Amino acid sequence: MTYTWWYLARSSGVVAWALLSTAVLWGLLLSTRVFDRWPSPKWLTDFHRFLGGTAVVFTGVHVGTLVADSYVHFGIADVLVPLASHWHPVAVAWGVISLWILVAVEVTSLLMRRLPRRTWHAIHTSSFFLFFTSTLHAITAGNDARNPIFAMACTGMLALVLLLTLVRLAVPRTPKTSARAG
Maximum Cα–Cα distance across the chain: 68
Contact between 62 and 12 under an 8 Å Cβ cutoff? The reply is: yes
Q: Which of 41, 14, 45, 13 is nearest to 27 (CA)?
A: 45
Q: Is residue 182 part of a domain?
A: no
Task: Give residue-wise pLDDT tens across range 75-99.
Answer: 999 999 999 999 999 999 999 999 9
Domain that holds residue 29: 4-169
Q: Is residue 175 part of a domain?
A: no
| pTM beyond cutoff 0.85 | yes
pLDDT of 42 > 90? The answer is no
Tally of structural domains, the chain: 1
Q: Is residue 119 part of a domain?
A: yes
